[in-house]
Amino acid sequence: MIKEAVGPLLTAFAGVTEGEQGVLYPFWALQKNKLWEVADATELHLTSQGRRPQLSALDELNPLAGLPKRDYDLLTEAPELAAWAMSTLLVRFFSRTPIPLLEALGLNELMAGRIAPSLRPLPGESYPHRGAIADVYGGNRVLGITPLADGILTVYSDDKGPYADQRIPETDWIAYTGDGLSGHQSLTAGNRAMAEHQEQQKALRYWHKPYKGHWTFETWAVIVQRRRRWGRGQDGQPRREYVWILAPIPSPMRETWPSEVIEALTQDDGQLHDDSLDVIPIEVDSEPQQEGTSTRERYKRLTDAARRTAAGRNRRSTLAQVERHLRSPAAREAVLLRSEGRCENPSCLGHPLERTDADQPILEVDHVNGLARTGQDTPEVMIGLCPNCHALKTRGSNRRKLQESLLVVAHHRHRNFLQEA
């Protein structure tokens, strides 16, 4: 009976060409996982490797099989529980609601409008700590990228944690830092799970903990892009790290997702967008090169990266905003390089060469006339100033005159650096 009922379903919806023969594997896998029972299983002759019974032995014995009676009674007497179990399977193995399959199984009426509401936890649920989440829903108590007991991938973001996660300005999308506390990150462990979800365009849960707040399941999300940038590990050292761009979605089923998310997924080629190749911090990109050209070559490379980013300002898509945000450090790094570690105000009366305990220049990089006024985010309209000169440029009574002077300085220094590159 099971063979005749399930065989056509496997052929129609799973592409299994063996028909009734193909039923054997899932039939026995469910029994081995103790999800259901097979009567007189010990009497069945197994294959030579002992992995599963021979089809001829099953045909001869024709054993009764199915859910344990207690589980069967629970599912038939509690529609909510049955809907939860089915919803979990649908989210784990499908991105769209498989209407024809539900109809073939006679479950379309049970699941109508119940997939997302039947899942637990629900968006908005809050817990004081990770242990409390695990007590209710299972899963790992420490890892940042890990499934709950239901097998659905979950990511955690702590404002006071070691990762530089953040909401991307002017959007509600999330730049989520990859797995790995120190050293260059690799596509293993949690990052491998994220890559698989990106490839399959599957939903995941996003939990967030604000400073001094509780953990909250804020939203379902889908990965729309994978990038790599320079960041700083827990050990304080610069490292290459993955950035997974998460787009919030109302439910895990694709038919409910906003058009801008669908558009982003259509544009996503699944490849890595590697910002670490040209947006490189000075402290990293300081290995000895040919004397007289190394600094200026790096300056030109950063300037080119900043201009490519600025050229995208006319594009209004959310993905364009993501790229501008993650590549914006290029212009700042270029100005710091050009400054050669000293305030760029020729009239500086403060401490133009002062440095931090980490031997880094105490400089603030800013737009001479403000980004809002110029609309540019490139080195020729930006300046590196000590804190005192920055205050004079921003709040001083003679700031207009100083800004005019500094703009000339920025243009002049920028032109000289490019000419000598």
**Cβ of 45: how many Cβ atoms within 10 Å?**
11
Q: CA torsion 122→123→126→132, rounded to 10°?
A: 50
Amino acid at 180: G
Mean pLDDT of the residues in the chain: 87
The answer on pLDDT for 270 being more than 90 is: no
Q: State pLDDT tens for residues 291-325.
A: 444 777 888 888 887 887 776 555 567 777 787 67
Span between the terminal Cα atoms of the chain, in Å: 78
Q: Can you give the residue ranges of every domain in the chain? A: 2-118, 126-277, 294-419
Please report which helix (H) or strand (E) contains residue 393, including its range.
Answer: helix 387-395
Please report which helix (H) or strand (E) contains residue 192, including its range.
Answer: helix 189-200
Q: State pLDDT tens for residues 224-265.
A: 999 999 999 999 899 999 999 999 999 999 999 999 999 999
**Cα angle, residue 283 at apex, residues 280 and 287 outer, rounded to 5°:** 90
Q: How far is CA 270 from the centre of its chain?
A: 12
- Confidence at residue 377, expressed as pLDDT on a 0 to 100 scale: 76
Match domain 126-277 to its CATH number in 3.40.50.12280, 2.40.30.210, 2.30.280.10, 1.10.10.60. Answer: 2.30.280.10
Buried b / exposed e over 217-248, threshold 16 CB at 10 Å, is: bbbbbbbbbbbbbbbebeeeebbbbbbbbbbb
The answer on pLDDT for 346 being more than 60 is: yes
Amino acid at 62: N
Q: How many CA atoms lie within 13 A of 75 on its CB side?
A: 14
DSSP output for 108-121: HHHHTTTHHHHSSS
Bridge partners (DSSP) of residue 53 are 46
- Confidence at residue 352, expressed as pLDDT on a 0 to 100 scale: 72
